[in-house]
Chain A
């Protein structure tokens, strides 16, 4: 039988042959340099002043904390609400579009099982998710350093923490790796909806609705919600900011990752059950 690797490669060819796959890449390529250029042109200096004003009487600041890394750091907040759109655009479409186009009939009359087909699609979704998340990271950190300039990174963690550029870059790498896991939860949820639907609009809207509602429930500090918060995947969405603590809270990262992993596994399993029972001929 055809190997999972071959099926995944073919999935990737299909995925990266579609225009919609590049919407996220193009948007990031335009928006991120534009933001960096605006910061360079109009500044962001109040950030440093507000943070360190109590030291101004005694110290002189050499260099600036407003640099490309700082803007990249704050750009990471888009990973919660805005960025998932690029993920569901592909994840919500990858199965549903083939159901509606009828192309599964051709695929599944070949020596390939439904498990292989779905798993290869899931792996392709994972690779797409990783590629676009790392593209955002590369674009934001790279453009930040090129357009605004590099330097130390000022972050908040039990006060003010200033990380050297080398240290910050390593932590960005770790942070974006964790962001892949976060976005994979989004991807696998949209993937689940995609297996249950014959058009991609439903999965995109459905996934987004769930993300927004879950975020609201995670943010609201209402005691009555304490019981359900651990079951909301959005409660673990901020794990990619953990690497910017000192020391890095590995236990916290491991805990959040395990929870995110459970959500991914559950969504994938449900997708598999749904797809194995799916009528692909209608």
Chain B
């Protein structure tokens, strides 16, 4: 009898401890995403302006273009100039993984889980985002907890396969800034098959209405950054004149 009582007590204690531990664990892991975002943002708050050269390599089916060099000039809060010789394409968002550049006030952010990326612990935040009225999408930010940088972004868009961006960083003057960005992107519809002008088609031929093959709906863009100049004191007049 004593033994049975003792055993029951022991079990209750164990369950209580387990419950306690679980509660502590849950309380401990439920990270406030805003704090995480703020920590990432803090990385860049001291950057007033910067200029950088980006080398872009595009590998998208039915699109061949030379590697392009693009010069970016940025100044807080929203002054940005891009210069390139000729024509280039750059990702619409996430070119520089500064949270404020792609998280608006209406974006919902929530902590989801923790994972490992390149042997670094990452918090994964889910962000609700709408491209337009009809397309609701969400994306996930992989935040490196050791340096508080966004190391990866993955997107889910209705109707197409997800896309992802992977960033690698370098520390310059105490700032963690992107050294390279790899973008793996999927399209709803690809670029048209087109042929050069000929006697038959004097202005070239394009098959816009064509159903694209699966392997032609995926592309890659690689960007390498160099020649950073941070807080060099870019003047407003520089941006105004360039316009």
Contact = CB atoms under 8 A, between A and B. Distances in A.
Interface of A: 51-52, 54-55, 57-65, 67, 74, 76-77, 80, 150-152, 154-165, 167, 215, 218-219, 221, 234-235, 237-238, 241-242, 244-246
Contacts, number: 132
B175 to A, nearest CB: 24
Contacts of A80: 199, 202
Contacts of A238: 197-199
B87 A63 contact: yes
Given A60-B90, A244-B196, 18 more contacts: A55-B187, A57-B131, A58-B185, A59-B90, A60-B91, A61-B88, A62-B90, A80-B202, A152-B66, A152-B86, A154-B87, A156-B195, A156-B204, A156-B206, A158-B194, A164-B85, A215-B199, A238-B199
B196 A245 contact: yes
Interface residues of B, number: 41
A241 B87 contact: no
Nearest to B62: A159
Contacts of A77: 197, 202-203
Contacts of B194: 156-160
A65 B86 CA distance: 7
B90 A163 contact: no
B82 interface: yes
A187 B222 CA distance: 50
A158 B195 contact: yes
A54 B199 contact: no
B65 A162 contact: yes
Interface of B: 60-66, 68, 70, 82, 84-92, 131, 163, 185, 187-200, 202-206
Contacts of A244: 196
A67 B123 CA distance: 46
A160 B86 contact: no
A54 B196 contact: no
27 contacts: A54-B190, A55-B187, A55-B191, A59-B89, A61-B87, A62-B88, A65-B87, A74-B203, A151-B85, A152-B66, A152-B86, A152-B87, A156-B196, A156-B204, A159-B191, A159-B192, A159-B194, A160-B65, A162-B66, A162-B87, A164-B66, A165-B85, A167-B66, A221-B200, A237-B199, A238-B198, A245-B196
A162 B84 CA distance: 14
Contact of A159 (B63, B84, B200): B63
Given A54-B191, A62-B87, A160 B199 contact: no
B65 A152 contact: yes
B199 A218 contact: yes
Contacts of A54: 187-192
Given A58-B185, A77-B202, A159-B62, A151 B87 contact: yes
> Which of A62, A63, A77, A242 gathers most chain B CB within 10 Å?
A62
Given A55-B60, A165-B85, A167-B66, A241 B90 contact: no
Contacts of A242: 196
Contacts of A58: 91-92, 163, 185, 187
Contacts of A74: 203
A157 B65 CA distance: 12
A246 B64 contact: yes
B92 A60 contact: yes
A241 B66 contact: no
Nearest to B155: A58
Given A237-B199, A238-B199, A62 B89 contact: yes
Contacts of A65: 87
